[in-house]
Structure 1
Amino acid sequence: MSDDLQIDLQTERWRKVLCDGHLGKKYWNRAMRLLPGPPRCKGCNNPFGGVGGFFCRTIGLSPSKKNPRLCSLCCEKMPPGGAEVETAILFADVRGSTELAERLGPEKFANTLNRFYNTATEILIRRDATVDKLIGDEVMAFFVPGFAGPDFRKVAIDSAISLLRALGNGSKDGPWLPVGIGIDSGTAYVGNVGNEEFVDFTALGDPVNTAARIQAAAGPGQLLVSTRTLSGIAGDYSGAKPISLTVKGKKDTVEVYAIPITQIPG
């Protein structure tokens, strides 16, 4: 088999997983169902619990580190490479973290960040996001249709809303941590990148960079969503305010919508 053909086959396999949520092998899904041990991987039915889960772990099929609702076979243990697929990218960042760290001190600041990480990852994983990175005071996640479903863009927005609510925005006492969130969507390269010693299951491309820029413009408790992410679903978020952003690295302004905190249900 030529190298080019092998790469094409791997790319198609990646696209199948990222868009359809399975390896395209019905016999595998059926075989996994015969093994007891729910819960199961959403991608291939690999059991995580019971006798079936114990057996699968012994052969290296454990829950993914990026999303425990998926198995490593559907993420980290996929072949090197990836595919260009439609993806929604979410960045959530603590505002004023330098001043907060100075005011709280190292230990209390670390505890506060851990609480933020735990809150964010619990919400994101529950909605089938892939938690890509925890960077300093920031969380990055992405949503692909094969894992989060065909409404992955709406799932991303609703995840952000749930996160802001969990942080106390809109509550009587107010937020316990000031966080801004930005979301963009579009075609990104998703897959395993790196070398033989270090491989990372991640998303790369313009939507990632743009989402990071949008997030940087969001104020405490604010959710900014790109126009292309809201395309076709804007009616679900009445009251969203259009904003034109001038962001670093972009010649043209980036059109976004601010979804007000009053839109978040109590």
Structure 2
Amino acid sequence: MMLCTLDGHVLTDTLHPDDNEDSDGAFPVPGLFDLLMESDNGELVTIARIDDAVYQLAIVPLFTPEPNAFIVIGFLIDENFVRELSATTRDTEVSLFQKVQNSNWQMFASTLPPKVAKDLSDHIHVLTMPSDQTRMITQAGQQYISMPVPFGASVSPGTALLQRSLDQQLAPYHALSRVLLGIFLLAVLMSLAAAWLMARSVVRPVKILQQGARKIAEGDFSHRVEIKQRDELGQLADTFNEMGAGLEERDRVRNLLGKVVSPEIAEELLSKQIELGGEERVVTVLFSDIRNFCSLCEKLAPGEVVALLNAWFTRAHEVIERHGGVVDKYIGDAVMALFGAPLDKPDAAARAVGASLDLQQAVQQLNKELIADGTPELNIGIGIHTDRVLAGSMGSASRLNYTVIGDGVNLASRLEGLCKYYGVESIVSEDTRKQASAYAYRELDRVCVKGKQQPVTIYQPLGPAQQDDATLARHQQALNAY
């Protein structure tokens, strides 16, 4: 506080209480009292530098009751002051500048960090801008929005630089941007996860169905797909499994049918619409049975008889199938085989004759085993005839049997019965001999079989034909002479 005379001499000063007597009484701020005299009410409030410190000065007259002196009250402006000022302006950074004697601006207080405040020396030109304008300046790598506000008298001008950090002001928006970006990325990830799950829910069942289809194509009809979805794919999986079950059942029927009849006949029955009747075709029919089977059964137990029949039928079936024939049926101890039905074979007669020769060898091999086991030997007879017969499904509408019917079938059976009479194992007809000329035959006789009016020439197949067979030639000459 100061007490000054009306002409500006200092009477007393609390800032320098010990120097009052030695002082020359001059006011420390030259020209300030001239401004005071020019004021309308004799009062003045300003900011001025005193002893390298800045004060806010309030000068008012002292009335006793006439104006007799001036009272000067000063408030120190320092870092505490600007911090309080910053708090009242919502954390605006405040920096105070004042011109010194050399007309340079000097900062005497600031709320900025020291490093940032130091960079203000490169932006002093901002202080001279109009007070209604702002400018963006960069300090210590940060952007600040700056606006100068002049203060003080003309004899001691000052400027308050108000600043706000753009980065701090935009921090909430940056945080919001990061949150929105996070939400966006999360939404993208969730969308990708949902798309992946959706694609997996579609692709995985399709792959399972594809693998199942491959298994079915490979013949594994027992394969089932496990797709527990209540949608079209689930329905497709159920239908696929039903299809597999149907194919498995069909395959089981086919296998069972193949055990009851030959695979060729089974394929014929399964590949066509089953109807009563058939078609005419040239077929070679082979009959074979076991000689003296009744007396053989008397010597063996029923189980032994069945085992013996199965052993023989197994070998007979292998021979017939190897020569391209099919077993039509087993009749007691007899076997009926077809060559040329249900599949056409141009050399059916030759196949049948070859099968008859191999059947004779097969029974000889079996007899060696039977003798070793103490079981009676088997003797077989074979009759073969080639003729046009009716081949197809015979029987009733509820029970069918693929077979052949015709006079040629009966003749083949009759020829088989003649084997015992002529003491041979195999007899073929003239028609068969003509179509199987690759084999040698011995003519046996001309006979009238039961049920036929015309005599039939019968032959015994001996094996592959040879160009020079003198024995057969002499036999034929003797037979012709007879």
TM-score, structure 2 normalization: 0.40
Distance in 2, Cα, partners of 1:197 & 1:230 = 39
Distance in 1, Cα, partners of 2:270 & 2:334 = 22
Partner of 1:25: none
How many residue pairs match? The answer is: 215
- 1:139 equivalent in alignment to 2:330: no
- 1:249 equivalent in alignment to 2:439: no
- AA at the equivalent of 2:250: G
- AA at the equivalent of 2:314: N
CA separation of 1:148/1:167 partners in 2, compared to 1, >3 Å: closer, same or farther?
A: farther
- Cα shift readout 1:194-217 (whole Å, capped 9, x = no counterpart): 222101010000110000000010
- 1:101 equivalent in alignment to 2:297: yes
1:47-126 counterparts in 2 under 5 A? 51-52=218-219, 54=221, 57-58=247-248, 60=250, 62-63=254-255, 64=258, 65-68=260-263, 70=264, 72-75=266-269, 78=272, 79-80=274-275, 81-126=277-322
- Equivalent pair of 1:131/1:141 in contact (CA under 8 Å): yes
- Cα shift readout 1:188-242 (whole Å, capped 9, x = no counterpart): 10001122210101000011000000001013651100000111433x2224233
TM-score, structure 1 normalization: 0.70
CA separation of 1:207/1:229 partners in 2, compared to 1, >3 Å: closer, same or farther?
A: same
CA separation of 1:148/1:84 partners in 2, compared to 1, >3 Å: closer, same or farther?
A: closer
C-alpha displacement of 1:109: 2.1
Distance in 2, Cα, partners of 1:186 & 1:127 = 19
- AA at the equivalent of 1:94: I
CA separation of 1:82/1:232 partners in 2, compared to 1, >3 Å: closer, same or farther?
A: closer
- 1:197 equivalent in alignment to 2:197: no
Partner of 1:3: none
Q: Where in structure 2 are there 5+ consecutive unaligned residues? A: 1-212, 222-243, 465-482
Partner of 1:15: none
**CA RMSD of superposed structures (Å):** 3.1
CA separation of 1:177/1:193 partners in 2, compared to 1, >3 Å: closer, same or farther?
A: same
Determine which structure has more spread, i.e. the larger CA radius of gyration.
2
- Cα shift readout 1:120-147 (whole Å, capped 9, x = no counterpart): 1121123232211111110001111663
CA separation of 1:242/1:57 partners in 2, compared to 1, >3 Å: closer, same or farther?
A: farther
- 1:258 equivalent in alignment to 2:460: yes
CA separation of 1:244/1:200 partners in 2, compared to 1, >3 Å: closer, same or farther?
A: same
Instruction: Select the structure that is richer in strand.
Output: 2
- Equivalent pair of 2:341/2:391 in contact (CA under 8 Å): no
Distance in 2, Cα, partners of 1:238 & 1:245 = 20
- 1:129 equivalent in alignment to 2:319: no
C-alpha displacement of 1:82: 1.3
CA separation of 1:221/1:106 partners in 2, compared to 1, >3 Å: closer, same or farther?
A: farther
Which range moves more in the overlay, 150-159 or 171-180?
Answer: 171-180
C-alpha displacement of 1:57: 4.4
Partner of 1:31: none
C-alpha displacement of 1:77: 5.5
Distance in 2, Cα, partners of 1:146 & 1:77 = 12
Q: Secondary structure at the match of 1:60?
A: helix
Identity of aligned residues (%): 28
Q: Secondary structure at the match of 1:229?
A: helix
Partner of 1:227: 430
Distance in 2, Cα, partners of 1:243 & 1:233 = 19
Partner of 1:216: 417
Distance in 1, Cα, partners of 2:452 & 2:214 = 52
* Structure with bigger RCO (C-alpha 8 Å, 6+ apart): 1
Q: 2:382 aligns with which of 157, 169, 181?
A: 181
CA separation of 1:126/1:75 partners in 2, compared to 1, >3 Å: closer, same or farther?
A: farther
Distance in 2, Cα, partners of 1:257 & 1:66 = 30
- Equivalent pair of 2:268/2:342 in contact (CA under 8 Å): no
- AA at the equivalent of 2:434: S
Q: Where in structure 1 are there 5+ consecutive unaligned residues? A: 1-34, 38-48
